[in-house]
Structure 1
Amino acid sequence: MLFDLKGNKIILASKSPRRHELLKGLGFDFEVRTKDVDESFSDSLKGADIPLYLSKKKADAFVDELKPNEILITSDTVVWLGNKVFNKPESAEEAVEMIATLSGRMHEVITAVCLTSLNTEKDGTSKQVVFHDLTSVHFAKIERADIEWYVNKYKPFDKAGAYGIQEWIGYAGIDKIEGSFYNVMGLPTQKLYVELKKFLNV
């Protein structure tokens, strides 16, 4: 039996069908709210600092609209390799080049999550917790023709690093991972479950 949400309602601020699936898989009922948020960040941010900053930035865009007894979940995922962040590709050509760069190498997938609610004991100010998880993903060497086929068929333009681990490339192109599989999909589900319980003091 899931823990008591103490009358709180979970709000997931994400358009990602993968995050919807993962939160549902944790057993929670939730409402989806979305808005376009500027996802730019300073070049001085490195590694985990990027999704930590962006998940909080996304949350801050909703704070004024939160109601008492609502818990907002925002999240951001980045692919990190060679001191460089791999965002969502803007074209098929860029997607192919991203995967070609990842091919035969290990990279890190970092997902940050921000939990936000109104702190009614402090005049409606927000209560916020931000955390992250990191998974090391080892790609086998993938032939360029296979990469092009994958990009043309799956069109991974809404995914950091231009790939979805739950798709063909995860079956055929990933040698091993160290860490949470679901973190690579977009939510560190085990950590999220633990952090939600702590957030609610249950």
Structure 2
Amino acid sequence: MTLILASASPRRADLLEQLGLSAKICPADIDESVRLGELPDDYVLRMAQEKADVIAQRYPAAVVLAADTAIDLDGRILGKPGNRAEAAKMLRALSDRGHRVLSAIAVSQGGVQHAELVATEVFFGPLSNRDINDYLASGEADDKAGSYAIQGRAAQFVQRINGSYSGVVGLPLYETRKALREVGIEPPTALAE
């Protein structure tokens, strides 16, 4: 059975490999605009579902896994920054407080889709202007939702998380494994060395 990952994210491909699975990479090119009045949870779930739908139409015999991640700060969606000034503004807003990281997955096979949303609370310590400027200079914030990567240099800003670490990275592994098992893809529980 062919598994397709509807994402260009190398982080998602790496996480999938942690399950002992590899997939054909086929990013979905969709309009990712937020609809007027759309809540963050609904937006992230819709994005994953639409990505899965687009790729499933191209490959109807395959199992398609799609995902989307966004930051919810007080009901406001923080996506990928458009530039460094926007990234700095996001990081200042996240400083010394908590926010939710929303990751949704959608698995499509044969016209049937299973989708699930995972919310994780992430708490940042206070960030100085130097912290923010040094982090931005690393380039790591450039293409990340909320302008940070928990698996990278931003880990030093995180006081604690409550929920799925892999979901914050971009693919909640527990839920992904469960969804793939439901469609007949059985990730190995132990990898051969």
State how far apart, in whole Å, the 2-side matches of 1:195 and 1:63 are: 16
Greater Cα shift, 93-102 or 190-199: 190-199
- Deviations along 1:102-149, whole A, 9 cap, x unmatched? 00010000100110112xxxxxxx111110111100000010111111
- Which amino acid is 1:82 matched to? D
State how far apart, in whole Å, the 2-side matches of 1:34 and 1:142 are: 34
Partner of 1:110: 102
Tell me the SS of whatever aligns to 1:157.
coil
Shift of 1:63: 2.7
Partner of 2:139: 154
Shift of 1:79: 0.2
- Deviations along 1:6-63, whole A, 9 cap, x unmatched? xx11100111110010001110121111242211131222131111011111122223
Shift of 1:168: 1.2
- Which amino acid is 1:176 matched to? R
Note if 1:9 corresponds to 2:9: no
State how far apart, in whole Å, the 2-side matches of 1:51 and 1:149 are: 30
Partner of 2:70: 78
Q: Paired residues, what number?
A: 186
Note if 1:163 corresponds to 2:156: no
Shift of 1:154: 2.7
State how far apart, in whole Å, the 2-side matches of 1:151 and 1:62 are: 34
- Which amino acid is 2:29 matched to? D
Partner of 1:121: none
State how far apart, in whole Å, the 2-side matches of 1:71 and 1:145 are: 45
**Equivalent runs, 1:1-202 vs 2, <5 Å:** 8-68=1-61, 70-118=62-110, 126-170=111-155, 172-200=156-184
Scaled by the length of structure 1, the TM-score of the pair is: 0.88
Change (3 A) 1:139 1:18: same
Structure 2 unaligned spans of 5+: 187-193
Partner of 1:3: none
| RMSD of Structure 2 on Structure 1 (CA) | 1.4
Scaled by the length of structure 2, the TM-score of the pair is: 0.92
Assess if the C-alpha contact under 8 Å between 1:41 and 1:54 holds in 2.
Answer: no
Greater Cα shift, 11-20 or 149-158: 149-158
- Which amino acid is 2:154 matched to? I
Assess if the C-alpha contact under 8 Å between 1:52 and 1:130 holds in 2.
Answer: yes
- Which amino acid is 1:91 matched to? N
Tell me the SS of whatever aligns to 1:14.
coil
